Amino acid sequence: MSTEVIKVTINGAEFEVPKGARLIDVCRDKAFDIPSFCYYADLALQASCRMCLVRIEKMPKLQTSCTIICTDGMVVTTQSEEIEKAQRSMLEFLLANHPLDCPVCDRGGECELQEMTFDWGGLEERFTEKKNYHPEKYLSPMVANDPQRCILCKRCTRVCDEWMGEDAIEAGGRGANTVIGTYGGWLDCSQCGNCIEVCPTGTLLDGTYRHQARPWELTQTVSTCTYCSDGCQMSLGSRGGDLMRIVARDRYVNGLNGEFLCIKGRFGHPFVNHEERIRTPLIRYQKGGKLIPATWDDAIQHVAEKLDAVVDKHGRDALGVVGSPRITNEANYLLYKFATELVGTNNYTCTDAHNLKPFFDNLGAPLATHRDIRYAKTILLIGGEPEELQPLTGKQIRQAVRNGGARLIVINSTRIRLTEQAAQFIHIRPGAEDAAVLALASNSNDTLAVQKLGIEINELQSLRQSIAEAQGDLVIMFAGEMSSGAQVALAQLPHALRAEGRRVLLHPLPLFNNSVGAHDMRMMNGAMSATQMLAAAGDSIRAVYMAGSFLNEQLRAHGEALSKLDVLVVQEMFETETTAFADVVLPAASFAEIDGTYTNNDGFVQRVRQSIPPVNQSKSDWMITAQLALELGMDFGFELSASAVFREIAEHVPAYAGLRYPVLKDESSPVQAKYKISESRDLTSELIALRTAVEALPDSGNKLDGTPQVGHELFKIGTLTGKVPQFHLLAAGNPRPETVRISPLYQITVNADRRDALAVAGEV
Ligand code: SF4
Ligand code: SF4
Ligand code: SF4
Ligand code: FES
């Protein structure tokens, strides 16, 4: 928006506002209430509900303020008898076909239509004709639908199109018979539920939580998502120790994601109160024996004795300490402290598959926030698939292109869905991302780069030209395909690419909710990676103490490793392939039961807040580590306070200096860690090493054809999503039930080949 200021008068008071501002936004900003249904900031205008009417001097009739851009000297009235009469008539019209079933509507108590009707009071209903009737039904395992409550504001169709790029839901029928529906009667989409979130009425509803609680029964706790590295802010609704639902509504939260969540954030929470949660500490007294329930005191004492014995016999470095990109900064920090201060082992690591240390050590520009991405003018995406793995980033990219006119350049071995929005798609060979970085870092390797990438030289030239011509913000994103040498070169690229009128920002795309935090807590600084630790199991590594489990691909690479350990101690929520070999399993609390922080891919340090008491006998990961440290003779002294742990983090991690929980309390103004920006430096030796690595890449190899199916990553069954029956239906191909009027969970029989993926659904 322009920095030029103009004057408008609203209800007799004069205001200075930016030229180009929208009247409805200005009125609300100045605290004049404007009712609306169809207007939704940053979506295409609909202008259909006619609730936002105002009187503008010199204009012949009432105007919809959502369609008016302020002009200098504009004189506006937002409240008058004439305006209220028109608005009441519109509301009466909207209610003409609306059933009066608020007492049985899941949206009752938080419905915008209900609120507005109650606010005005005394609304007369003069329509006596029979109301249109449409039966309730399911549109998918996640989305329930009561069509007769619809007021046709089309927020749902616009978010589906503009945020998700899916266009899966549309208005069908004509006139008074228009209803919102799907193409073919069943939703084959990413099941984000954003259409549910933005629906101002009870037309689209959370099919997984239906009729389970009323909104006023829920205690709302603002927290951070526990799935991907985007770190969406959300509101956890709990009742009596149970996590009932998750939403991102503005009314509770105004964080970096607005009202956006993806399927995992919104629907992936039933693991929290799941019956398979580990109930008590468990000890396996003999290798190959059973895990036997124990008290916390006995289990901690047992672990301490076992670890002491290993260190006495084999030395400190025989004990490996393993953190996780899924647990909080506080938990990773205490594992680091446990490894370095108490045990003195060099062998500590984190189960994340990708180490971001080379990137952060050479960071040449600030991290791009999700807001920066939305307003970027050029976005260069190297590798990855944000629409499946970091869906908020995917949505921001899509909106930057669709609503902001950004130029998107995608370099990928796969024709990912985001290529539909791309101005340029450079289709490279699988595993050749390093060659793309080499080409960007130095133009003396073009012949080699195009040969390894499998592209034409003019594609590279066109990429360079797009960057050279870019004005405004250029955001460079990269995923985990890159080697550490390529990460160094990429991190330094901003020094070469920034120019007059062009800012360059970087945006890593790690996989987990706290991948960045695990890096910041220095858990990746140890002498070996998780895979190397597994390779050394039974040899130089005799015992492992870990929070969370190894990734399946890490275990597959070293199949028998865990059985070779003398001692394996695991803090976990569920039994996993790792706990199957554990000598002691300690029940860990989920994100909904703890206080702490995660750091997202913007570098935002965000609060995780306790919504319910710990389930069963579980404890926060950091508390377990502190208790074990005490048993081993070192009092960390945090007195059961996560904020005390965070205070120590702020004292020891320079990027977090000065941060405290109170500083992080307002999720509408997120706080970014202060990562050190490295000066431009001579990369000659790194580029020679990168060139050598690129030379070793194959000269042939098929590029991956076809666009991956929506949900191929999002619907994957993991330890957490596997506890949600609906995910099993989606993973099995989202079969359409015989009738969509009954919950799909009760009626879908799934193909026998996919039964493994459906174990949980079968129990329902
Ligand atoms: S769930 Fe998401 S993708 Fe599916 S129709 Fe709704 S908004 Fe569109
Ligand atoms: S379903 Fe909800 S969001 Fe969609 S048009 Fe109807 S009322 Fe609006
Ligand atoms: S985009 Fe990522 S952080 Fe946001 S809700 Fe989805 S999984 Fe959670
Ligand atoms: S909000 Fe302006 S017409 Fe609907």
DSSP letters, 481-530, are T--HHHHHHHHHHHHHH-BTTEEEEEEE--SSTTHHHHHHTTTT-SSS-H
CA distance linking residue 466 with residue 208, whole number of Å:
45
Give the percent of the chain with pLDDT over 70.
98
Q: How many CA atoms lie within 13 A of 569 on its CB side?
A: 26
- Among 175-184, 500-509, 529-538, 724-733, name the one with the lowest average pLDDT: 175-184
Helix (H, G, I), strand (E, B) or coil at 353: coil
Chain centroid to Cα 138, Å, comes to 25
How confident is the model at residue 438, as a pLDDT? 97
Query: What is the position in ligand 4's atom list of the atom closest to the CA of 34?
Result: 1
Q: What angle do CA 546, 720, 583 make, to 5 degrees?
A: 30
Chain centroid to Cα 429, Å, comes to 28
- Among 284-298, 408-422, 700-714, name the one with the lowest average pLDDT: 700-714
- What would the two tokens of residue 32 be? 């004049």
Ligand 3 centroid – CA 607 distance (Å): 15
pLDDT band at residue 687 under the 50/70/90 scheme: very high
Residues 6+ positions from 275 with CB-CB distance below 8 Å: none
CB 49 within 8 A of CB 90: yes
Ligand 1 centroid – CA 558 distance (Å): 40
Concatenating the DSSP letter of every residue in 166-199 gives ---EEEES-GGG-EEEETTSS--S----HHHHH-
CB 590 within 8 A of CB 615: yes
Q: Is the CB of 37 under 6 A from ligand 4?
A: yes
pLDDT at 755 over 60: no
Ligand 3, atom 8, residue with closest C-alpha: 265
How confident is the model at residue 265, as a pLDDT? 98
Q: Is the CB of 263 under 6 A from ligand 3?
A: no
Ligand 2 centroid – CA 266 distance (Å): 19
pLDDT at 756 over 70: no
Q: Is the CB of 228 under 6 A from ligand 3?
A: yes
Q: Is the CB of 265 under 6 A from ligand 3?
A: yes
Query: What is the position in ligand 1's atom list of the atom closest to the CA of 193?
Result: 1
pLDDT at 130 over 90: no
Q: Is the CB of 230 under 6 A from ligand 3?
A: yes
How confident is the model at residue 177, as a pLDDT? 81
How confident is the model at residue 763, as a pLDDT? 35
Q: Is the CB of 392 under 6 A from ligand 3?
A: yes
CA distance linking residue 231 with residue 222, whole number of Å:
12
82-100 pLDDT, tens per residue? 999 999 999 988 888 888 8
Ligand 1 centroid – CA 285 distance (Å): 50
pLDDT band at residue 643 under the 50/70/90 scheme: very high
pLDDT band at residue 751 under the 50/70/90 scheme: low
CB 620 within 8 A of CB 327: no
Decide: residue 447, CB within 10 A, 0-12 exposed, 13-18 middle, 19+ buried: exposed
CA distance linking residue 292 with residue 274, whole number of Å:
20
Residues 6+ positions from 470 with CB-CB distance below 8 Å: 377, 378, 407, 502
Q: Is the CB of 194 under 6 A from ligand 1?
A: yes
460-512 pLDDT, tens per residue? 999 999 999 999 999 999 998 899 999 999 999 999 999 999 999 999 999 99
Query: What is the position in ligand 2's atom list of the atom closest to the CA of 155?
Result: 3
Ligand 4 centroid – CA 34 distance (Å): 10
- What would the two tokens of residue 206 be? 């959370």
CA distance linking residue 45 with residue 671, whole number of Å:
32
Q: Is the CB of 107 under 6 A from ligand 3?
A: no
CA distance linking residue 449 with residue 437, whole number of Å:
9
Query: What is the position in ligand 1's atom list of the atom closest to the CA of 190?
Result: 3
pLDDT at 252 over 80: no
181-232 pLDDT, tens per residue? 898 889 999 999 999 999 999 999 999 999 999 999 999 999 999 999 999 9
15-70 pLDDT, tens per residue? 999 999 999 999 999 999 999 999 999 899 999 999 999 999 999 999 999 999 99
Length of the chain: 764
Ligand 1, atom 6, residue with closest C-alpha: 195
Helix (H, G, I), strand (E, B) or coil at 644: helix
Pocket perturbation via mutation, ligand 3, pick of 245, 253, 261, 388 by most ligand atoms within 8 A of CB: 261
pTM value? Answer: 0.95
How confident is the model at residue 703, as a pLDDT? 82
Q: Closest ligand to 260 CA?
A: 3
Ligand 2 centroid – CA 146 distance (Å): 10
pLDDT band at residue 564 under the 50/70/90 scheme: very high
Q: Closest ligand to 40 CA?
A: 4
Pocket perturbation via mutation, ligand 3, pick of 232, 249, 511, 606 by most ligand atoms within 8 A of CB: 232
pLDDT at 575 over 90: yes
The arithmetic mean of pLDDT across residues 581-605, rounded, is: 98
pLDDT at 702 over 60: yes
Q: What is the rounded end-to-end Cα distance, in angstroms, of the chain?
A: 52
As a whole number, the mean pLDDT across the chain is 94
- Among 48-52, 247-251, 531-535, name the one with the lowest average pLDDT: 247-251
Q: Is the CB of 54 under 6 A from ligand 4?
A: no
The arithmetic mean of pLDDT across residues 627-644, rounded, is: 95
